[in-house]
Amino acid sequence: MNDTVLDLLAAGSAGSAPPAWMQFLPLVAMGVIFWFLILRPQMRRQKEHRQKVEALKKGDEVLTGGGLVGKVVRVDEHYAEVEIAQGVRVKAVKHTITDVNPPKGATPAND
C-alpha cells in the first residue's frame, strides 16, 4: 500500500510542474512591453529628426542644440551656416540642429 501511495505522489508532482519555457514568459512579456513603450517611439523620433535635418534648406528657421535660433543661409553635406542676427553667421554641424521650422512667410496647411 505504501508503494502505491508513493507512486501516485511521484506521478502527481511530476505532472503538475509547469514547462520550463513558462518561467521565461514574464521576461518575454516585459521585453515586448519595453519595446513598444520605450524603444519604438524613440526610434520614430530619431527617424523624424534625421529626415528634418536631411531636408534642411536655405531660409528655414532652426533651433540649434546650444539654444541659438536663426535662419539657414547655406547648407552643405555636414554643416549649415545659420544667421543668428543681421550680419552674424555661425557654422553649425547639421546633426546638432534640434528643430526645423519652415520660413515665417509660409502658411500652415490647415488654414
pTM for the structure as a whole: 0.63
Give the mean pLDDT of 9-18. 60
Q: What is the percent of the chain with per-residue pLDDT over 90, rounded to a whole number?
A: 54
Give the whole-angstrom CA distance, residue 9 versus residue 62.
Answer: 74
Is residue 7's pLDDT more than 90?
Answer: no
Q: Tell me: the pLDDT tens digits for 50-72?
A: 999 999 999 999 999 989 999 99
pLDDT at 111: 56
Give the whole-angstrom CA distance, residue 111 versus residue 108.
Answer: 6
Give the whole-angstrom CA distance, residue 90 versus residue 35.
Answer: 39
Is residue 46's pLDDT more than 80?
Answer: yes
Length of the chain: 111
> Confidence band (pLDDT; 50, 70, 90) for 23?
confident
Is residue 109's pLDDT more than 70?
Answer: no
pLDDT at 44: 94
> Confidence band (pLDDT; 50, 70, 90) for 17?
confident
